[in-house]
Amino acid sequence: MIHLAPLARLLSVLLLVSALAACGGDTTEHADPAGGGTHADDGGHDHEQGPHGGAIAVVGDEVAHLEALHDEDAGQVTVYVLGEDNAVVALDQPPLLNLVTDEGSRQVKAVAVGEAWLFEDAALLGEPEKARFRLVIAGKTYQPDMPCSHEHGADGEHGDEHGGHGPHDGVRITFADGLGHLELKLHDDKGDLELWLTKDDQGTTPYDLPLDALITVTFTDHGGRKVALAVRNRERNEDEDGKANLREGKTNYFIFPGDTGVDASWLTGAEFVSQVIVTIAADGKTFTTQPFTLRPHTHGAGDHEH
């Protein structure tokens, strides 16, 4: 007779071992596939949360900390290499990500996105069997395993900072060190964008800026293509429900393309997805968000016109 309880415990142990293998629990030495002999794994995988909400791996003997956010829906990993006080650590060259999958080994190159490094590969649509970074800092090579960290697009479990839904069904993130929040909504049918700024993460208290504030959205997955958001008009600046958004000559609501005539067709379609960065310049200050995943709000037959 097979006893189910011991079998269940055995299966749990096997699943745990598999997860550690994928996210980095090995501390043995491995040959550097890019050359340079063998390098000890960094092994520091406490799975604590970094300043951007990702999981942390220790690089070397506290040389730096690597923060990783894995968006399985987009097949992307965003990485920050941080030192004391979360300052960005300079790398001698762009980092690499060595993957082991069912189809074999592969190496993925990173592209710089603001202060972060972005890796994109079909193998990252799920959990690879093994994932190890290659970093060169001050002439020395380090190979930390990728710590476990997952995002799932607009419905992810990381809430406000990493793609939670806002009250208008857009993607909501923090843009001003916890003091300001924005919601960015892309409509799949016409490719138009709406953006709201608020002081609270519930989206109820406006964070008003001058009407000539400069707001730019950069689509890093589309050759760094940029679009500029502006007010609809200076009389009422109404949203798509007709609600006015002017308060003492300021507003928290900006749109694209409005009546500018700029082509937005490349943003249409329910399958559109991109990593984006929002830059806000107003009152002598500039805010730049961390990269986040933007997907469209899908409209059914009963939705209103834009």
Partnered with residue 120 across adjacent β-strands are 76
Is it the case that residue 155 has pLDDT exceeding 60? Answer: no
115 and 183 co-located in one domain:
no
Q: Is the peptide bond before 257 cis (omega within 30 degrees of 0)?
A: yes
Cα gap 22→90, rounded to integer Å: 27
92 and 165 co-located in one domain:
no
Domain around 231: 153-294
Dihedral-angle region of residue 60 (phi above 0 means left; psi in -120 to 50 means alpha; beta otherwise): left
Structural domain count, the chain = 2
Q: What is the reported pTM?
A: 0.53
At residue 154's C-alpha, the angle toward residues 111 and 120, to 5°, is 20
Q: Could you tell me how many residues make up the chain?
A: 306
The answer to whether position 306 is within a domain reads: no
Please give the radius of gyration of the chain, using alpha carbons only, rounded to the nearest integer: 22
With tokens 């040959």, the residue in question is 31
- Strand (E) positions, 201-291? 209-210, 214-219, 225-229, 250-251, 253-256, 274-282, 285-288
137 and 101 co-located in one domain:
yes
Cα gap 133→143, rounded to integer Å: 5
Percent of the chain with pLDDT over 70: 75
| Band (299; pLDDT cuts 50, 70, 90) | low
Cα gap 78→217, rounded to integer Å: 18
172 and 243 co-located in one domain:
yes
68 and 199 co-located in one domain:
no
* pLDDT tens-place string over residues 258-273: 999 999 999 999 989 8
Handedness of CA 201, 203, 204, 207 (dihedral sign): positive
* pLDDT tens-place string over residues 77-94: 999 999 988 899 999 999
The answer to whether position 41 is within a domain reads: yes
